[in-house]
Structure 1
Amino acid sequence: MNSRERLRVAVAEGDGIGPEIVRSAVAIARAALGSLGAGSLVEWVDVDAGVLALQRTGQALPDESLARLESCDALVLGPVDHATYPRHRDGRRQNPSGEIRKHFDLFANIRPAKTVPGIPAVASEMDLVVVRENTEGFYSDRNMFRGYGEFRPTEDVALTVGVFTRRGVERVVRHAFELASARRGELTVVHKANVLPETTGMYLEAARRLAPSFPAVVVRDEHVDAMAALLVRDPASFDVVVTENLFGDILSDLTVQLAGSLGMAGSLNAGEAYAMAQAAHGSAPDIAGSDRANPCSLVSSVAMLLRWLAGRTGETAFATASATIDAALIDALGHERTPDLGGDATTTSFTEAVLDRLPAHVPHQVG
């Protein structure tokens, strides 16, 4: 595409604290791009999804919203409150997040975990990224062509389908190799091939096949149970970690908690032609509307989305804006913190603190 072509980025506020943190993250992204004279590169497109959409239309992701998403290049999605959604007859809940991941084939969930100076953390130092396969594995809402992958043939027996395909495994492992090549050159493949050799063992096979194409990357492998223990003992020894969906979900939450807080964790769901920024945490309905929510996770996620757009388009302004946001966020955390981090800043005041640390930019307004 033309490097100066205007992109469309969808914005869905989600549930609970979603509207507050989405408005914060988008305001910061707009200001960062504006400071570079690149604000016109993005058109922000509002999309209806979540509990309110369900109440209005009977669908958590209405057909009209999905069509709007298809007309965009990327998405910022606020957290969704799965627990309040009604169940389908097969027992599953409506989940716009999972539906979007499956529809746009967002096969890689990128979850960084890095300690931040001044933020209390279990780990004294760490800087790693978990690359979680995002479209198959043991997650029942996205591993069937039709229907749901978890079911009960009798009242007392429950079964689940785990799906591992060579294509699905190889593409996420390749993505992890590429990421490791751009970082410190170390890749850890996590599996449980001693008891699940035909499924999780595919990750080992893929890494061995791809390793000759990435001679500068050092590859190691660990069983998932041993990996959990090693992360607690020595998280600083890991760079990029790649694994299947369920293992990656667990390990990514563990690593960000070791680094300080789930509220700090960025998360990007990436495919070949589409990506979705999404906070790593839930919708926190108990504090919704109180202006107490920590926006850091989604702010970091949107910064990651801008880096992904830079890689897709070759537009350096996106990469520069991303780095500017990261720097402003870390600087702001040295002075302002929301209650979950031991401070008394509001969502609004913390957002203003980040905005004030961006380079000179056009006037901004939160909300």
Structure 2
Amino acid sequence: MTTHRIAVIAGDGIGQEVVPAAIGCLDVVAARHGIGLDWHQLDWGSDHYRRHGRMMPVDGLDVLAGHDAIFLGAVGVPDIPDVETLWGLLIPIRRRFEQYVNLRPVRTLPGVPSPLAAAGPIDLVVVRENNEGEYSEIGGRLYRGLPEEAAVQEAVFTRHGVTRVARYAAELAAGRSGRLTSATKSNGIVHTMPFWDEVVREVLAEHPDVELRSELIDALAASLVLRPARYDVIVASNLFGDILSDLAGAVTGSIGVAPSANLNPERRHPSMFEPVHGSAPDIAGQGVANPVGQLWSGAMMLDHLGHPEAAAELVSAFESALAGGVRTRDLGGTATTAEFAAAVRGNIEEGT
């Protein structure tokens, strides 16, 4: 039996509910496929910050380095600034472990209607550059508290960074429809976006089987709403990819079902898997959170660890639950988190 060491950070809010629900389903599907999942629970997050002034211990990244993958729930609470919760946990993990691809699949799911009146089936993937771009650490505040106070934030795009994410997106597109859309804003952002376009074109010249279309981010956002079915793989910078993937998830019916993978494609370091939704403090503790985003992220983890059949079975199990009318409140149903997870486990055990 192949056994994987998985670091678990349930984190904040509904992460404390959807992570255990997903782990229960993952254990069932793993057992059916002869996979061992050795879960290591880490009580890091906002409660840890309140106790210690840090989101994770000083040696937290070293602890995570000894695992094969990281399974994350959600991060963020109303009483602690996001700059503390995100930059104290999520972003250091992404950067220390070179998780430069943030992979976000978006697909129409059974029983989850799109808010778009005429939307057909949607099946696309956003490949978001995850380590640099607009979310750099370079900048600062000047003249705090004075009338002339100013803030400076530098966007950083390197040839190495753009090349590797564009190459990943091109290889992904080659295995799908052969169509790749690059998000840009080179008509208004004078340095970084023309550079992005240039490097993406150079990489795509190595992939003559992939058709590249470059679209301005504002037009692309509108087109995702008006004609979402025309897109297959979208590659975008850190900020643009973040916004587009949330928008695309909403177009399919609920951001609550959207998964993501923070990948180190070379597998030199552990990758991290988390739902796109946040900690949802307004419903935390009520047992009504939708676990699909966490389940789907778990399926992506299984696939990344080399178990595509188990991953596909888990996806089929939660799709069958949705198709059978088992839905949480955000999807118009009445099922609790536990009831939905029980339906998924039942489908796995029955092989449906």
Relative to the length of structure 1, the TM-score reads: 0.88
Residues 1:104 and 2:93 are matched in the alignment: no
Query: Which residue number in structure 1 is paired with residue 339 of structure 2?
Result: 349
Query: Which residue number in structure 1 is paired with residue 8 of structure 2?
Result: 11
Deviation of 1:49 after TM superposition, in Å, equals 1.4
**What letter is aligned with 2:68?**
D
Partners in 2 of 1:346 and 1:297 — Cα distance? 15
User: Which aligned runs of 4 or more in structure 1 are off by greater than 4 angstroms?
Assistant: none
Query: Which residue number in structure 2 is paired with residue 323 of structure 1?
Result: 312
Deviation of 1:99 after TM superposition, in Å, equals 1.9
Counterpart selection for 1:137 from 133, 147, 155: 133
Query: Which residue number in structure 2 is paired with residue 33 of structure 1?
Result: 30
Deviation of 1:12 after TM superposition, in Å, equals 0.6
Q: Which has the higher mean CA deviation after the structures are superposed, 171-180 or 95-104?
A: 95-104
Residues 1:161 and 2:157 are matched in the alignment: no
Deviation of 1:251 after TM superposition, in Å, equals 0.7
2:229 match: secondary structure: helix
* Residues 134 and 153 of structure 1: CA distance in aligned 2, closer, same or farther (over 3 Å): farther
Query: Which residue number in structure 2 is paired with residue 126 of structure 1?
Result: 122
1:48 match: secondary structure: coil
Paired residues of 1:115 and 1:259 also in contact (CA < 8 A): yes
1:200 match: secondary structure: helix
Matched-pair identity in %? 41
Gaps of 5+ in 2: none
Residues 36-47 of structure 1: pairs in structure 2 closer than 5 A: 36-38=33-35, 40=36, 42-47=37-42
Residues 1:307 and 2:303 are matched in the alignment: yes
Residues 235-246 of structure 1: pairs in structure 2 closer than 5 A: 235-246=228-239
Partners in 1 of 2:295 and 2:110 — Cα distance? 18
**What letter is aligned with 1:33?**
A
Residues 1:252 and 2:245 are matched in the alignment: yes
Deviation of 1:131 after TM superposition, in Å, equals 0.7
* Residues 286 and 234 of structure 1: CA distance in aligned 2, closer, same or farther (over 3 Å): same
Gaps of 5+ in 1: 311-317, 362-367
Paired residues of 1:48 and 1:65 also in contact (CA < 8 A): no
Query: Which residue number in structure 2 is paired with residue 179 of structure 1?
Result: 172
Partners in 2 of 1:172 and 1:184 — Cα distance? 18
1:111 match: secondary structure: strand
> Per-residue displacement from partner, 1:191-235 (whole Å, max 9, x unpaired)?
111222421223322222122322221111101011011111111
Q: Supply the RMSD in Å over aligned alpha carbons.
A: 1.8
**What letter is aligned with 2:67?**
C
Deviation of 1:119 after TM superposition, in Å, equals 1.2
Deviation of 1:51 after TM superposition, in Å, equals 0.9
**What letter is aligned with 1:358?**
I
**What letter is aligned with 1:133?**
E
Counterpart selection for 2:84 from 87, 93, 96: 93
**What letter is aligned with 1:344?**
T
Q: Which has the higher mean CA deviation after the structures are superposed, 11-20 or 100-109?
A: 100-109
Q: Which has the higher mean CA deviation after the structures are superposed, 207-216 or 241-250?
A: 207-216
Paired residues of 1:130 and 1:248 also in contact (CA < 8 A): yes
Residues 1:58 and 2:53 are matched in the alignment: yes
Query: Which residue number in structure 1 is paired with residue 20 of structure 2?
Result: 23
Q: Which has the higher mean CA deviation after the structures are superposed, 103-112 or 320-329?
A: 103-112
